[in-house]
A and B are shown apart, each in its own frame.
Chain A
Amino acid sequence: MLSSNKWSRRGAVATAAALAATAVAAIGASASSAKMQVAHAASAGFTVAAYGDSENSVEKYAVASYDATAEGKSDPATLETFPGADYQTKLQTIMSTSSAPDVFFNWGGGSILQFQKAGLLEPLNGYFASNPKLKSSFLPSILSAAKIGANYYGIPMRGTQPVFFFYNKTLLKTDGVSLPKTFPQLLADVKKLKAKGVETPIALGGADQWPTLMWYEYLYDRVAGPSLVTNALAGDKAEWASAASKKALADIKTLVNAGAFGVDKSWDSVYFTKNQTAAMLQTGESAFELMGSWDYSTIQSQLDDGSSSASAQKAAATQENSLIGYTAFPSVPGGKGNGNDIAGNTENYYSVTKAGAAANPGIADFLAVMYSPGFVKKELAIGNLTTTSNTKSLISGPTSAYLTWQYNLVNKAPAFQLSWDQAYPQTDTNTMHTAVANYFDTLNASQFIKAMQSLTPAS
């Protein structure tokens, strides 16, 4: 589950050596100049590409239930999963070749922008016109995260993943620390925990860099409101140098200097992707972690004995519920952002390629499976919070309290900030990650502002 949520997580382990990588680039170059999209017309049916991980069981279900219909029999779908990390890289290298998928998994926003610009994507407006339920069955705010210009390009197909605080209930109780409702309270909690001997009150996987970015997403929202990033993305680079931006940066520095994430850059040695922060939270090394909703299953995997039996997982879930709590990010007094705003990964989407749409009339029916009650129930059962309008009535099972809490969090949020590294095109990811990581270490505010201004706006 972990690795599907952000492409930034892909870098954990890659096997290509440097020079081999160059060679691949070269081969890709010659392949793309060859004739494209020849295979499509010839073969019946269409391919559905998805990120390969433990959640594929539900994608398999979706494909199987579509293939069982009359439409599916004449125009069958085939699921193709790209296992392991580097999904976006693999997608990018085949998108303009003859092996491009017809329907593909993505993160919306910046992850499909380049494909859209290259004219490879089919706008879904035509499908919406012939089947209005395909639009009305999903939460509007989620659908718009895969909207480019006036056109929709993605149908939600997994779950929404807001970012919020996880905390160790036992540690907060023994140290007499209350849940922070405001930013000054968070600072006070950090000081109190440090005084009680908790050296690293907040676990942060700084070595991965993208967990660090979450702190910026929330503090920028709370201090400056959601418009700052929206405007910056639309091309107004001056926003980064505004007073509100500087205030948010100052708040971040205050937290870092208070030793909230440990002493002297210790966070640079810690990974989320190697399950280190989850272990820190679980063992009481740290009291808080700001992380996406998938952290729940990461912690659960630490607690169960590794067997996948239902009883063992249920026991781990019970243990987790008594040890780990979750709460919204604190508000910042005097800030412009609403305390109910959230940040995170809006959803995963299926997008359709132009060539695929032209050759396969069945795709519209396949996409309609994504809001069917059977599919939604399957997603909920593996812990994915779907974003269909019927979701709330279908939640049940051992994690229902957690899912309902999240659903309400998403539902009452006036704004949902898509992770910056997904909102911006992928070409900017590295610059952005380096900047957010370095501002925790050595950069000053004006250097950070300069780095953010060097990013290419998405529009």
Chain B
Amino acid sequence: MTTLAKRGRTKGSGGLKIGRPSFLWSLPAFVYFAIFALLPLGVVVWLSFTSWDAIGSPHWVGTSNWTAMFKNPELLQSFKITGILTILGIATQTPISMLLGVWASGYQKNRAILSALYFIPLLMSAIAISVVWASLLSPYFGLPHELHWLFGSALFNHGFLFSSSPAAIGVLTFVGMWQWTPFHTLIYQGGARAIPEVLYQAASIDGAGRVRQFWSITVPQLRNTMITSMVLMLAGGLTTFDTILVLTQGGPGTATTSTSYYMYLEGFKSFQFGPASVLSVMLIVVTTIVSLIAVRASGWDKMRSTQEGL
């Protein structure tokens, strides 16, 4: 995605060729990219037209994997679930990490200490986080059992969090938020620290309060940060896998089977690498298109400075 975005920018700012290094300079990076990204991608596209169970050689079956997949109701459902998880992820993580990031950008000692503590989830592996939450949310021995006054309502499905589709999606969103908010807070913290102090000083003189300063200075100044963070959330959300594998295994039923988890099931549970490759090609195409739209719509490809005129 980044390469595509970069290409767009170069086209837009033609005439700036002076002093640019030749293609040779990017050759190592390009070779690396070709071997580890383009080549496997090509093989996956080829595999999507074959039938292969990891034994022997794949044999060509034409487009039958594709037509079967398009008729499969689980495909559409998996994309729907992926979309819901992604949107919920962005909607919950953006406001929290922005507020926390702006707060953490202050230079006070207590903020530094609390932020350091808060960044701990960033250092933990996604699998470990999911395993810990799975134990914490166990209905008979975890928090729902201990805090029955809190979890005993219909909202939390009476403590059986993984037995209903909304509750399971809620858990995945919550754990994703717990895991990823620190990372995005870090991005916002950096963004907020780059806002020139003079803007706030001028606003104070004009009589703007904290809330007004936040909405009129901080948020507009953080525009590029916000786009960066949201594009990362988008790409991350569309390929969420490990949390689902450990926490819900796609259940109850198929209520949290996202496209990437569905791909895993087809490939490594059912050993049908043809349909699994169809899914991964679709996922690549959809993720690329969605990210491109996000980049274009937000003006990230032009990425104007927020400090013009200062």
Contact = CB atoms under 8 A, between A and B. Distances in A.
Interface string A15-32: 111110111011111101
B180 interface: no
Contacts of A11: 245, 249, 269
Contacts of B134: 271, 274
Interface stretch (B92-100, B157-165, B213-221): B157-165
A309 B40 CA distance: 50
Given A264-B160, A442-B253, A17 B52 contact: no
Contacts of A14: 245, 268
Best-surrounded residue of A22, A207, A265, A437 (most CB of chain B within 10 A): A22
B179 to A, nearest CB: 14
B153 to A, nearest CB: 13
Interface stretch (B24-32, B201-209, B273-281): B273-281
Contacts of A437: 251-253
A441 B249 contact: no
Contacts of A86: 268
A22 B40 contact: yes
Interface string A376-388: 0000000000000
Given A17-B242, A276-B140, A442-B253, A96 B161 contact: no
A266 B163 contact: yes
A280 B140 contact: yes
Contact of A428 (B40, B264, B270): B270
A427 B271 contact: yes
A285 B138 CA distance: 14
Contact of A18 (B43, B131, B246, B264): B264
Interface string A113-134: 0110010100000000000000
B269 A96 contact: no
Contacts of A426: 269-271
Interface stretch (B55-63, B107-115, B298-306): B55-63
B267 interface: yes
Best-surrounded residue of A26, A33, A437 (most CB of chain B within 10 A): A26
B260 interface: yes
A195 interface: no
A95 interface: yes
B146 interface: no
Contacts of B53: 92, 114, 427
B44 A25 contact: yes
B269 A429 contact: yes
Contacts of A228: none
B241 interface: yes
B163 A22 contact: no
A267 interface: yes
B252 A434 contact: no
A268 B162 contact: yes
A438 interface: yes
| Chain B: interface size category | 35 or more
A369 interface: no
Contacts of A262: 160
B284 to A, nearest CB: 9
Contact of A430 (B164, B269, B283): B269
B77 interface: no
B239 interface: yes
Contact of B253 (A22, A89, A434): A434
Interface string B51-74: 011111110000000000000000
Nearest to B261: A18
Interface in A1-59: 11, 13-19, 21-23, 25-30, 32-33
A93 interface: yes
Contact of B55 (A89, A115, A276, A431): A115
A426 B260 CA distance: 20
A200 B246 CA distance: 24
B175 to A, nearest CB: 15
A146 B157 CA distance: 45
Contacts of B164: 265
A99 interface: no
Nearest to A266: B160
Nearest to A14: B245
A169 B269 CA distance: 38
Contacts of A279: 140-141
A27 to B, nearest CB: 7
18 contacts: A11-B249, A13-B246, A19-B260, A25-B47, A25-B276, A32-B57, A92-B271, A96-B56, A114-B271, A207-B249, A264-B158, A265-B160, A268-B251, A269-B139, A270-B139, A437-B251, A437-B252, A438-B253
